Structures are given as structure tokens and as C-alpha cells.
């Protein structure tokens, strides 16, 4: 994660960068460098589709898409091109990207996004979407 932004005060609030937050619920969005799985516990900064350009990929993502913080030890090469994760994090990666878990992850992100949009619409004075069962 390169930057975390939160929104201060209600409808007319502004976004500001934070060094840390106590809850992901306080985060408006985050800017992060994205790594692509290459082999076993290694991830590469230069994705296959960007190999000819030799550039890194960055992502500006809403908080709804932040589902897991890796609590394991990771090591980043000095040139920041290779990320090596430990066995615990790799097990989590395999579990969450499995054909059984991935559809549930996608649905969780959709549900979180729908709930946030409904809450924002209600806060703006509009009628909220029904998010029962989410």
C-alpha cells in the first residue's frame, strides 16, 4: 500500500492521506502496487501483459475491494520487482484463488459495493436501495 485516504466529515468532506487507520471501514480508497503471481511463493511487479514496457502496475481501489491483510512476513527485493511471501500467506492465496472460493469473493465485493452505494445514497438524501440479505 502506497497511500490510504479517508473522507472527513459528511457530504462536503474532503479526502486526506493517512499514515494508518484503525479500521478498513474508515478508508475511502487506497493506492497500491499490484504484484502478479509468477511461481510458488514469488510474485512479480512487472505483469506479463506489461513485460514489453517493463513498467509496474498500480491500483487506485475503493475500500470495498480490500478483503484481507496479509499478517505474514513478506520480503521485497531491493529493486522492488519481486515479492516473496511466506508459506502461511501462500496457503491463504491458494485458498482464496481456488475455484471454490473465488466466486464467493467476487460476490462479497459486489455485496459490499452495493451496501456502500446504498448508504451513500441515503446519506445524500435519496432513497436507499434494499440491501437485505447482503
Q: Over the chain, what HEC string results?
A: CCEEEEECCCCCCCEEEECCCCCHHHEEEEEEEECEEEECCEEECCCHHHCCCCCCEEEEEEHHHCCCCCCCCEEECCCCCEEEECHHHHHHHHHHCCCCCHHHHHHHHHHHHHHHHHHHHHHCCCCCCCCCCC
Position 130 scores a pLDDT of: 43
pLDDT digits (tens, 9 = 90+) for 38-82: 999 999 988 888 888 888 888 888 877 776 777 768 898 999 889
The per-residue pLDDT for 42 is 94
In the chain, what are the domain boundaries?
Answer: 3-123
Amino acid at each position: 500500500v502506497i497511500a490510504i485516504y479517508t473522507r472527513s466529515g459528511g457530504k462536503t468532506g474532503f479526502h486526506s492521506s493517512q499514515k494508518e487507520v484503525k479500521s478498513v471501514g474508515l478508508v475511502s480508497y487506497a493506492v497500491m502496487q499490484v504484484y502478479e503471481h509468477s511461481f510458488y511463493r514469488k510474485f512479480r511487479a512487472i505483469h506479463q501483459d506489461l513485460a514489453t514496457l517493463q513498467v509496474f502496475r498500480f491500483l487506485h481501489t475503493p475500500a470495498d475491494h480490500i478483503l484481507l491483510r496479509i499478517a505474514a512476513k513478506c520480503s521485497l527485493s531491493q529493486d522492488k520487482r519481486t515479492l516473496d511471501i511466506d508459506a502461511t500467506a501462500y496457503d491463504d492465496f491458494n485458498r482464496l484463488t481456488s475455484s471454490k472460493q473465488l466466486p464467493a469473493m467476487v460476490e462479497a465485493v459486489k455485496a459490499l459495493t452495493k451496501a456502500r452505494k446504498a448508504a451513500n445514497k441515503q446519506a445524500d438524501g435519496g432513497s436507499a436501495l434494499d440491501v437485505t440479505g447482503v
